[in-house]
Structure 1
Amino acid sequence: MRYNEEHREFIRKVSPGRYNADIADLFNAEFGTSITEGQIKSFKSNHNIKSNVPKRRITTPEGLFTKEQEDFIKENVEGTPNKKLAAMVNESFNLSVTPRQVKTWKKNHGLSSGLKGTEGIAPKNKGTKGIYNVGGNRTSFKKGQRPSNYKPVGTERVD
């Protein structure tokens, strides 16, 4: 598109303090065109026009839950399994959140229900020494036991 002087002046006038997407919307509303954000960016760059706004646009955080829903989960997370918590959230806020989504959200936000699964069952090899000691120490030496081929230090070997 060819920009005439009226177009150039309009962009120069509305640019300060606005992002390219906003400028494109205003331009399209004013002149009835379909200019894109990228075209405005190129025009501003070619004509040395600055908006003086931060590079990253500050937006509202987008996520799975609203602030109110997050507060609800934080209040009820302690001692509640993910399946039950998902059902509570769905019932309270008319959502369709899965237990897996709740689990992932809790993990990403550093929350824990405090539930660790089954407790009170001792592992099969509890109290044994050694790495990968599946069968325990049935054939290991006991403390103070000497092997059958033991020789004191300094014994000479005769070949």
Structure 2
Amino acid sequence: MSSILTKDLKSNLEETRSRLLSERQALIQAAQSEAEAELDKTLQYIEQLLGASGDSAPSAPAASTASPKATKAPAKSKAKAAAPVAAEPKKAKGRKSSKSFDASVLKSEFKSLKAMQAIVEVLGSAKEPLSIDDLIDQIYDPFDPAEMSKARMSVAITTKHAERRGLLKKVQDNPSRFQAV
């Protein structure tokens, strides 16, 4: 491995390693704060969709967003310095499928449609009501199974919007099943 590395690259990597080790706790706190903020936003959005008042949710994101601002400089330097290192674990993670879920990338037969239009089209041609998992299987190509919860949330939100627009209706809970109107 040392034959591949030049002296400049090796010294740069050693400097980056020592800097990351010294800034480790600040980076961990910044990442944790950002993750908490994203989770709070998602929970607040879900509560809005469910019709809950969510009085406790707005205070949580405000508290967690103050922390990332204070530690934003280390987070930026982490992104630049750790980018080559971060690429390797991602490749090793995806065992069955290396593709991550992207809600905007539909199967080729639905490529010209948006997700909501594809869902309505699939439900319109279905003989019986379909669950969220059925819809995912029919409109998206296979993706990493670890991202199934992300896919379910995306399709659930989209079906809720379509239901509000009167394009489909929910006919069953647990598991939710939908049919075209």
TM-score range normalised by the length of the shorter chain: under 0.3
**Which has the higher Rg, Structure 1 or Structure 2?**
1
Q: TM-score, normalised by structure 2?
A: 0.23
Query: Which structure is higher in strand share?
Result: 2
- Report the TM-score, using the length of structure 1 for normalisation: 0.26
Higher RCO (C-alpha under 8 Å, 6+ residues apart): 2
Which is helix-richer, 1 or 2?
2
